[in-house]
Amino acid sequence: MSSEYRIEKDSLGEVRVPAEALYGAQTQRAVENFRVSGLRFQRAFIRALGLIKLAAAQVNNRLGLLSDEQARVISEAATEVADGKWDEHFPIDVFQTGSGTSTNMNANEVIANRALQLLGEELGSKKIHPNDHVNMCQSSNDVIPSCIHLSAYLEVQRQLLPALRHLQATLEARMLDTDDVVKTGRTHLMDAMPIRLSQQISGWASQIRHGIERIEAVLPRLAELAIGGTAVGTGINAHPDFGRLMAERLSELTELPLREASNHFEAQASQDVAVELSGQLKTVAVSVMKIANDLRWMNSGPQAGLAEIVLPALQPGSSIMPGKINPVISESAIMACAQVIGNDTAITIGGQWGNFELNVMLPLIGYNLLQSIEILASTCRMLADKAVAGFRVNRSAIAELVEKNPIMVTALNPVIGYDLAAKIAKTAYATNRRVKEVAAEMSSLSAEELDRLLDPRELTLGGIKGGGTGG
């Protein structure tokens, strides 16, 4: 062995491994074979992998399959992996073998070699064996699907749901302080009947609330773990109680309501739950994109746009136009949401590749699912804190647009009929006059009646105004 490399062996022969690396031959082969993207599994995925190996060591010890000493050092090493101490020793590209075997063996080798260090043994000696001990009662084919579910559940609980609740609460707070603002509603980007700004924001808040409910609805199925099915779902080479005990132990470690998969063949052959969760993430991304784009439109101007609100000025908007301020937070959010939507397409395609007893796009699914969760959570917090919470309402501009809006004549339909109301609106558009003024000339309604029927705030309360039958 040179000063820079050591020699490790696997079933294919000898491999030169960097001398200080905790990983071994199979990881090194994967590093050399899969030079594709430079993308690595996220911290959340490696954490889940470490937790699974920790639980496996403890369960195998409880079942009498590992000695106390073996379980102790494997557990300590796996805990360090879960805690992020050895992340630099997980160098394999996401685009690897479709089962994720390379990453599973990466974990097995790192944990085995670190356990050897804890025993004072030489790296690669295999007194603690990556397959026989660290991977006992397991296969990559049940470990990696379990890791996808576990890491996604942990990150949904840790990051995404709190971020969504924060965005919802921020929107609801803005509802309260904008309830007195009556603005022009818009359909087809064209003027429509007035609404209160609080009503518009309530629609956004409802979108986020439903998004939370959609994601929470997936969690019971995400809680099912494939572990215990081993190679093809039959549980070959695993103790009959291993899957159940693993779910119980992981539940204790994570405080999540995890359970053994009700059908191991489904759990390994398909990734339907990951596809389902991704679909709900996509739906949330569509909601957030709509909110961000509405804010962007409402902020447009300040002279030649809608200029209903003013978003916080966070940075100069142009390298050539002094004084220009752009809606950068909305644009960032929209791009992030587009990425989530794109990830969903990749995950959907990945979910289709469940050939017989194993899905073979597991790394792609796992990576994209975690990325979607992470960037959606960050986007929701960014949008809440840097756009929603701080926008200022341009009350005078909003009020003027409402007063000039001929579409308010719609409220007169029950009193004067659609045809006359349409004539009044057309005349108001053509002469650039207020609808109240034109209606006073073209109908028999008094000024007092028009004030009552065309009161902007009253129009936001719904119902039939007037009480006539038309004519």
Cite the active site residues: 188, 318
d(C-alpha 17, C-alpha 107), whole Å = 15
Of the candidates 74, 16, 87, the one whose C-alpha atom is nearest the C-alpha of residue 45 is 87
Strands 392-393 and 309-310: antiparallel
The torsion defined by the Cα of 349, 352, 353 and 359, in degrees rounded to 10, comes to 110
The 8-class DSSP code of residue 381 comes to: H
d(C-alpha 377, C-alpha 385), whole Å = 12
Question: Contact, 209 vs 171, CB < 8 A?
Answer: no
Of the candidates 291, 305, 277, the one whose C-alpha atom is nearest the C-alpha of residue 397 is 305
Query: What is residue 17's three-state secondary structure?
Result: strand
3-state SS, one letter per residue, for 105-120: HHHHHHHHHHHHHHHC
d(C-alpha 53, C-alpha 58), whole Å = 9
Strands 259-260 and 224-225: parallel
At 265, which amino acid appears? F
Question: Contact, 218 vs 225, CB < 8 A?
Answer: no
DSSP string, 308-349: SEE----S---SSSTT----HHHHHHHHHHHHHHHHHHHHHH
Question: Contact, 224 vs 191, CB < 8 A?
Answer: no
DSSP string, 14-43: EEEEETT-S--HHHHHHHHH--S------H
* Element holding 67 (H helix, E strand): none
d(C-alpha 218, C-alpha 224), whole Å = 11
d(C-alpha 88, C-alpha 75), whole Å = 19
d(C-alpha 120, C-alpha 101), whole Å = 28
For residue 396, how far is the Cα from the chain centroid?
38
Of the candidates 18, 218, 49, the one whose C-alpha atom is nearest the C-alpha of residue 140 is 49
Residue tagged 């009646």 (tokens):
449
d(C-alpha 64, C-alpha 19), whole Å = 34
